């Protein structure tokens, strides 16, 4: 076993673990054993897991180890552990959505993304904390406690893919799946200092994932490095005729451009998002300017661009999300309103008052917002903008969380469906991560990851680890 693997296997990237397996310096069983020990020590402080499926994970790790030893490796994720947000079905396990409503809801089949992970040989570790039905916030009135931020467990880890972000950042597993309807992959990536991608709408199947908003939902990867994010996307992407939103595309090899740098790329900096629309915390604004300087130094042409305001995007997202979510939750909200947590109930109920005219009007304006983004992406390869406008707030300050949670620039790209990645752009003075977002053309997720990889290599922020242990 190599020294890094021996000293801290929990910090190995998925790519590093795969190479160690192939070189026989580390085995899938050894890696999983180390991760299970770390989970036993740290997860009582973080609450990343709703259900750790240790026995099934060990069985899968042993099978992967035997197949790799026999020369039947299935690719770079064979034997690599992955955590799963608990709105994604894993056969035989409860899909609770972190809610009393579904606490006994046992999945009868794997979601398509889980099928794909199993085909790639990945080890499914269990189900991870989320905000209730992927719309509530961090709260204490649910069947399971909220996940916590490994950079400071007194703070939230973002959401709604909260356990996914917390667990990846803490070294409990190298990869996780989350979902993103208004930013719920990119928010925990921003809060926890990791890499979270909302892929192009339709690139990844959502069949077997509990829906929040049919036309806004995405499934996306979270990882500690851009390269790992690309590997996980490779495994889960692909057309699914059983998902009405799935795109018939054969796009693959999302990491093919990671070593090309940004020289010659045109990058549009959407400054008004954080300067005028929702003024960012000064440390976030300074970090974004530094991102632009880094990319310019690496050879990119960075220029200021203008899009519709965040208020417009947020309003359209809200009408569509609330209308579509109400169509899902109306029976339970009428029959069992007290079984919802307060935050989820408060955020779902406005859908009862949306009219057909509201919804159709929002969809018409949505088309205009898409056209505005498309206009800029004809001239620019990638857009640069804020993700979160503030570092994560404390869990015991619900008023501050309510104030800062909507202060973000992620929802525009759920409205438009463009690929968007959020990643660490530094540490605030309080020791919590700040972040940046890159956005690209439809089905050009590879170029978005290319820019992210160039920034990652130039800065090395991904090498910083939370002080939790």
Give the three-class secondary structure for 175. Answer: strand
Q: Confirm whether 160 is a catalytic residue.
A: yes
Tell me the C-alpha distance between 222 and 59, whole Å: 24
Pull the structure tokens for residue 136: 């509530």
Spot the catalytic one: 184, 190, 323, 387.
184
On whether the CB atoms of residues 188 and 148 are closer than 8 A, the answer is no
Distances (CA, A) of 338 to 234, 354, 423: 41, 22, 37
Spot the catalytic one: 13, 99, 160, 435.
160
Q: Confirm whether 184 is a catalytic residue.
A: yes
Tell me the C-alpha distance between 305 and 282, whole Å: 21
Tokens 């940004």 correspond to 262
Beta bridge partners of 420: 198, 439
Spot the catalytic one: 5, 13, 27, 85.
85
Tell me the C-alpha distance between 170 and 224, whole Å: 10
Q: Is the bond into 261 cis (omega within 30 degrees of 0)?
A: no
Q: Confirm whether 161 is a catalytic residue.
A: no
Tell me the C-alpha distance between 366 and 213, whole Å: 15
Distances (CA, A) of 164 to 82, 149, 188, 338, 375: 9, 11, 8, 27, 34
Pull the structure tokens for residue 246: 């799935």
Q: What's the per-residue H, E or C state across 209-248?
A: ECCCCCCCCEEEEEECCHHHHHHHHHHHECCCCCCCCCCC
Distances (CA, A) of 382 to 209, 376, 378, 469: 29, 9, 10, 36
Element (H, E) at 344: helix 342-348
Tell me the C-alpha distance between 280 and 228, whole Å: 29
Beta-carbon contacts of residue 24 (< 8 Å; ≥ 6 apart):
none
Pull the structure tokens for residue 278: 């929702």
Burial class (CB in 10 A: 0-12, 13-18, 19+), 378: exposed
Q: Which residues are catalytic?
A: 85, 160, 184
């Amino acid at each position: 076993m190599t020294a890094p693997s021996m000293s801290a296997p929990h910090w190995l990237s998925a790519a590093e673990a795969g190479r160690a397996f192939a070189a026989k310096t580390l085995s899938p069983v050894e890696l999983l054993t180390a991760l299970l020990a770390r989970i036993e020590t740290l997860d009582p402080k973080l609450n990343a897991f709703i259900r750790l499926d240790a026995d099934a994970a060990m069985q899968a790790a042993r099978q992967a180890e035997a197949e790799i030893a026999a020369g039947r490796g299935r690719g770079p994720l064979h034997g690599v552990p992955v955590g799963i947000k608990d709105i994604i079905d894993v056969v035989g396990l409860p899909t609770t959505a972190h809610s009393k409503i579904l606490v006994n809801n046992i999945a009868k089949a794997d979601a398509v993304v889980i099928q794909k992970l199993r085909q790639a040989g990945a080890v499914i570790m269990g189900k991870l904390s989320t905000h209730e039905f992927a719309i509530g916030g961090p709260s204490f009135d649910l069947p399971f406690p909220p996940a916590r931020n490994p950079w400071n467990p007194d703070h939230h880890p973002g959401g709604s893919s909260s356990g996914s972000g917390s667990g990846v950042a803490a070294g409990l597993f190298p990869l996780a799946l989350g979902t993103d309807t208004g930013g719920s992959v990119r928010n925990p990536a921003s809060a926890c200092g990791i890499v979270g991608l909302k892929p192009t709408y339709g690139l990844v199947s959502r069949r077997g994932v509990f829906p929040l908003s049919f036309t806004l939902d995405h499934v996306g990867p979270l990882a500690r490095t851009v390269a790992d994010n690309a590997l996980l996307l490779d495994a889960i992407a692909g057309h699914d005729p059983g998902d009405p939103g799935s795109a018939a595309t054969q796009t693959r090899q999302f990491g093919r451009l990671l070593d090309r740098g940004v020289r010659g790329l045109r990058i549009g900096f959407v400054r008004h998002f954080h300067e005028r629309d929702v003024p960012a915390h000064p440390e976030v604004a300074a970090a974004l300017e530094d991102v632009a300087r880094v990319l310019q130094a690496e050879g990119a042409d960075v220029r200021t661009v203008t899009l519709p305001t965040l208020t417009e995007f947020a309003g359209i997202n809200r009408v569509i999300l609330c209308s579509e979510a109400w169509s899902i939750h109306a029976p339970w909200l009428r029959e069992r309103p007290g079984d919802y947590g307060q935050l989820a109930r408060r955020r779902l109920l406005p859908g009862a008052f949306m009219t057909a005219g509201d919804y159709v009007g929002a969809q018409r304006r949505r088309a205009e917002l898409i056209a505005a983004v498309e206009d800029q992406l004809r001239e620019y390869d990638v857009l640069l903008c804020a993700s979160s406008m503030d570092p994560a707030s404390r869990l015991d300050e619900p008023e501050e969380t309510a104030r800062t949670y909507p202060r973000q620039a992620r929802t525009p790209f759920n409205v438009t469906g463009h690929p968007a990645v959020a990643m660490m752009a530094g540490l605030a003075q309080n020791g919590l991560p700040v972040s940046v977002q890159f956005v690209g053309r439809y089905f050009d997720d590879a170029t978005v990851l290319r820019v992210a990889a160039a920034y990652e290599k130039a800065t090395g922020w991904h090498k910083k680890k939370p002080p939790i242990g």
